[in-house]
Structure 1
């Protein structure tokens, strides 16, 4: 029964996402040039932060810019790198504090920001020259409260990194393209986004209650009826984990933070006041990103174990449908992002190798949540392997 229900839901959701993505309309160019503040939290980012700042400062954006970098107690030369790049450039300000975590660092940067629109960029994320102009165009409309940019994986040296690149393309970014139509985007990513400062204040500020502060803030913005849009042309290149161990640590934190946000905002699910957010995108996270990811490897193992007994013939059609939907979405996503369609077939080996690891992370997060254990932010070892594209 579970396989029948799950397969039906996968097919329905796939068709809805395809339909909504096809209806997506790119925002018009407005040449918005209001003053902005860029806030960046940094912890042991000496290998990457200089290039991040260089690409950011080389922007084609014509408005006033201030860049606030909060060094969260780094034990390397992060602060020295910021000072070196910012030497003689009054746009760059460095704030230093003891290590209190990313959320507190962002809080301090936000408090120091002097302009009404705040751009959030991760310290390992490189902008293109047109990233900020594209990202900020929608703010010409006073009704827009937040804008999600388009994060892409820039380091493609390992199989693990290439899997994440496809995941960003056919998962995170395709979802935002589709959800934009129904005004139900669930995450304005901390890697590249822009939000009105007064909208953040109205939503209660950046929360310290969850590890996924970007998801938490996005859902709080929805509570206060802020309009959120997605701009696929606002591309920024981020550095993804290149090893299984590093990825598992990152995704365990992400999964735990997502569970925290889902539980904190559980009253929004199936709540008619939140329309598509409550009836489509949030339930999708619960079922497709938590439940299904957790149990799918078990189904795969059951299929393998049933081969000697002939039971597999009853399960195989469902597996084929699942894989077909995966390939269909991946193909559409590659077409929309003008990437080689052949990359969509990478989704098949991902099913056997990559997704079991994600399932492990989900179960680890669930068990930690049940125990009430806290998960630290930890630190992803940087490799500075994202090619400069600015």
Structure 2
């Protein structure tokens, strides 16, 4: 009987490990097929918009004060900002470098008490060629509500791209995002979001996590089962946003809530897709305390949305693809449960390997994570050779860094359980606070 518990933990560890290995394999294969699809797609189409928008070219051109746009169609870039004086100018500078010229910028200033508003107004004066407007909230209403105000009352574009005030857009990001809308079923495009700073252990951890996490979106795009689109450089059709009523404000993650709400309409008609060439950079958090706070908010909001849209799980409706309702949604739920047991299983496996002098379990898991991290680095199309070499040096630490992240996620899960009433009985979230920014510390690297 004394061996029952060790055997249960062993098989638990084995089951979790097999699940991860299978998923890593699927992600690798899916990413390769996605890359092939990307090459074919780029070979068949240049940077152009769907035919339904061609007739609106002339009207769009009169909306912007820029020179003749390179391609037709206006994009409304909405930036949510609350006390972002250290980073807002850097974000606006990145937009001015865009190769796509027909866009307007709406800064939703959510009652900032610092110099955010003054810096934006000064930017308007210094760069009159840029169609830049500030939408000021008289009180802190929350990120989702601030974006809603800017988009509902002031946006004029056929497409909307949302950004965080600390994010930096690559010059070709807008133009690349619009090419995906050649497919009339595409409703939203998730960007390839990268972490700016990775010289610290915490920075390296976030850089690896983003690289691996976003690579999995390649598989989800091919299978048409993506429903999670973050807020950094995400792009939507305006008519779809109007159809769903823009952002909901009853969860902690309004960005995931928006993409899931659109998907709930039926992902055969309203498809979410990942754009690996829609590159944006953003700051990681600076402290483990901030990381714990961030991951709790993300997890709580994700669980709120999974519960809110639980009707999509195992739903036989023809509006949805089977890969969404029978694979992606159930796995999203299952991953939350495996998270609760995986640190315990891995810790016991390490102990069991030492006691029995059979290190194969831990070494196998370590080798798998390290190999997958290296493959992710060297197959990333947006990294230079020098960046690949530098990140490869850090790759052997990935297993231990991910273990730390699992502990952070586990802590967030327990906090969610302790506040489980809020998962089911949602309320309006009317305030928010921006995290500490590195600001000028990353300007040189970004340039």
TM-score normalised over the length of structure 1: 0.91
1:65 to 90, 95, 103: 103
Summarize the Cα distance change of 1:166–1:311 in structure 2 as closer, same or farther, 3 Å threshold: same
For 2:356 and 2:306, locate their aligned partners in 1 and report how far apart those are by CA, in whole Å.
37
1:387 counterpart SS class: helix
The answer for the alignment partner of 2:13 in structure 1 is: 3
Count of matched residue positions in the alignment of Structure 1 and Structure 2: 384
Counterpart in the other structure of 1:39: 78
Structure 1 unmatched ranges of 5 or more: none
> 5 Å matches for 1:268-347?
268-273=312-317, 274=320, 275-288=322-335, 290-303=336-349, 310=355, 313=358, 317-337=360-380, 338=383, 339-340=388-389, 341-347=392-398
Asked if the contact 1:207–1:217 (Cα under 8 Å) also holds between the matched residues in 2, the reply is yes
Q: Which residue of structure 1 lines up, in the alignment, with residue 185 of structure 2?
A: 143
State how far apart, in whole Å, the 2-side matches of 1:38 and 1:383 are: 23
Q: CA deviation at 1:175?
A: 1.3
Q: State the 1:321 CA deviation.
A: 4.4
| Pairing 1:53-132 to 2, within 5 Å after superposition | 53-62=92-101, 64-87=102-125, 88-97=128-137, 98-111=139-152, 112-132=154-174
Residue 71 of structure 1: CA displacement? 0.4
Query: Aligned equivalents of 2:25 and 2:435: distance in 1?
Result: 36
Contact preservation (8 Å) 1:303, 1:312:
no
Contact 1:40 1:109 in 2 (8 A): no
- 1:78-131 residue CA offsets vs partner (Å, 9 max, x unmatched): 111111112224500001111011110111121121111001111100112112
What is the root-mean-square deviation of aligned Cα atoms in Å? Answer: 2.3
What corresponds to 2:46 in structure 1? Answer: 30
Indicate the SS of the match to 2:442.
Answer: coil
1:206-245 correspondence to structure 2 within 5 Å: 206-224=247-265, 225-245=269-289
Q: Which moved more, 1:157-166 or 1:294-303?
A: 294-303
Asked if the contact 1:248–1:357 (Cα under 8 Å) also holds between the matched residues in 2, the reply is: yes
**How far apart, CA to CA, are the structure 2 residues paired with 1:20 and 1:280?**
15
Q: Is the 8 A contact 1:206 1:217 kept in 2?
A: yes
Q: Distance in 1 between matches of 2:315 and 2:361?
A: 31
Contact 1:134 1:234 in 2 (8 A): yes
CA contact (8 A) 1:41 1:106 kept: yes
Cα distance in 1 between the residues matched to 2:86 and 2:239: 34
Gap change, CA 1:232 and 1:357, over 3 Å in 2:
same
Gaps of 5+ in 2: 1-10, 49-70
Distance in 1 between the 2:294 and 2:220 partners?
25
The answer to whether the Cα contact below 8 Å between 1:41 and 1:102 also exists between their aligned partners in 2 is yes
**Residue 353 (str. 1) matches residue 392 (str. 2):** no
Structure 1 position 311, deviation (Å):
6.2
The reply to whether residue 12 of structure 1 matches residue 67 of structure 2 is no
Q: Does the CA-based 8 Å contact 1:158-1:242 persist in structure 2?
A: no
TM-score (norm 2): 0.80
Contact 2:349 2:361 in 1 (8 A): no
Separation in 2 of the partners of 1:287 and 1:331?
27
SS at match of 2:187: strand
Higher mean alpha-carbon deviation, 181-190 vs 200-209, is at 200-209
CA shift for structure 1 position 277:
1.5
Deviating beyond 6 angstroms after TM superposition, the runs of 4 or more aligned structure 1 residues are 373-376
Structure-1 separation of matches of 2:316 and 2:357:
41
d(CA) in 2 for partners of 1:9, 1:272? 25
Deviation at 1:244, TM superposition (A): 0.4
Classify 1:233/1:358 alpha carbon distance in 2 versus 1 (closer, same or farther; 3 Å).
same
How far the C-alpha of 1:18 sits from its partner, in A, is 1.6
The 1:276–1:344 alpha-carbon spacing in structure 2 relative to 1, beyond 3 Å, is farther
Q: Which residue does the alignment assign to 2:292?
A: 248
Q: Which has the greater radius of gyration?
A: 2
- Shift in alpha-carbon separation, 1:117–1:312, aligned structure 2, 3 A: farther
The 8 Å contact of residues 183 and 276 in structure 1, kept in 2 or not, is answered as: yes
> In 2, Cα distance between the equivalents of 1:257 and 1:238?
20
Please tell me whether the aligned partners of residues 37 and 115 of structure 1 are also in contact (alpha carbons under 8 angstroms): yes
Deviation at 1:70, TM superposition (A): 0.6
